[in-house]
Amino acid sequence: MPLGKFITLEGMEGAGKSTNLAYLCSMLDAQGLVYTVTREPGGTPLAEEIRRLLLAPREEKMVPLCELLLVFAARAQHIEAVILPALKRGEWVISDRFTDATFAYQGAGRELGTARVNELEQFVQGELRPDLTLFLDVPLDIGMQRVAKRGELDRFEREQSEFFQRVRAAYLARIEADPERFIHIDASRELSIVQSEIAKAAGELMKNTKQA
Ligand code: Z5A
C-alpha cells in the first residue's frame, strides 16, 4: 500500500487556515479520497492537553526552551498515534500547522535559532516531512483585526508586532529554501481567489499521485 500524502497548512494569525482547511477537505471529498484532519499543537487527547498548556496565558513566564520541548513532545505523540498510522493506511493527512510553525514561532519568534529546531525535527520525525505546505500570508494588521473579532487572545496572540515580523520572515525564508514544497498564497484577497489557488495546488498533487 503506498503511503498517503501529507499536506500542512501554515499561516500568519487570522490568515484563514481553519476556513481554508474546510475547503481543502471538501475538495478531497469530491475526489473520494480518504483523509485524516488534524492539528498542531494537538491532534490526540494527550497532545491537546499540551496545547492547552502552550496557549493558556499564565503568570509564570514559560521559557522559550520549555515551549520548544512541549511543542515537540506533543508532536512525538501526534506522529506516532495519528499521522504515521493514517499515512500507512494510505490516507491523506491534512494538518493545521506542523514543524514549519516551530521554526517560525520558536526558532524565530522566540529567537531560539534554527539549529536546535533542526536537531529536534530529525530526532522526533526521522524522515517524515510534508509533501505540500500551503502558507497563507496576510499583513499583520489585517490578520490581527480578524483575530481580535474572536474575543480573548491566547499566549501567542498577545505578542508584539516584532515577534510576528520575525515569524513571518522565518516562513518566507523557509519558502525560499524549499520552493517545491511550499505554495505561498496571499490570503488578504477575497476568499474565492484564495480558494482557487488552494484548489490548483491540491489538484496538482492529486494528479501527480494518480500518475505515480
Ligand atoms: N505554534 C507554535 O508556536 N509552534 C508550533 O510548532 C505550532 C504552533 C504547531 C495556535 O495555532 C498557536 O500555536 C499559534 C502558533 C503556535 N499561534 N497563534 N496564535 P493555531 O493555528 O491553532 O492558531 P491561529 O494561528 O490563531 O489559527 P486559527 O485560530 O485557526 O486562525 P486561522 O485559521 O488562521 O483563521 P480563521 O479562523 O480561519 O479565520 C479568521 C477570521 O478571518 C474568520 O473570521 C474568517 O472568516 C476570516 N477570514 C478568513 N479568510 C478570509 C478572507 N480571505 N477574507 C476575509 N475574511 C477571511
Which domains are assigned to the chain?
6-211 (3.40.50.300)
Query: In 3D, which of 88, 87, 59 has the Cα closest to residue 155?
Result: 59
What strand order describes the sheet that includes 182-186? 35-39, 92-96, 6-11, 132-137, 182-186
- Ranges of the chain whose pLDDT falls below 70: 211-212
Can you give the pLDDT at residue 152? Answer: 86
Instruction: Tell me the C-alpha distance between 42 and 49, whole Å.
Output: 8
Amino acid at the residue 210: K
Cα–ligand 1 centroid distance for 18 (angstroms): 6
pTM (2 decimals)?
A: 0.95
Can you give the pLDDT at residue 115? Answer: 98
pLDDT one-digit tens code per residue, 102-119: 999 999 999 999 999 999
| 12 neighbors 146 (Cβ within 8 angstroms) | no
Can you give the pLDDT at residue 106? Answer: 98
Can you give the pLDDT at residue 92? Answer: 96
3-state helix, strand, coil in the chain (%, to 5): 55, 15, 30
Cα–ligand 1 centroid distance for 15 (angstroms): 6
48 touches ligand 1 (CB under 6 Å): no
Ligand 1 mutation target, pool 12, 17, 167, 194, most atoms within 8 A of CB: 17
- Residue appearing with cell numbers 511550499: 182
Can you give the pLDDT at residue 147? Answer: 81
Can you give the pLDDT at residue 211? Answer: 67
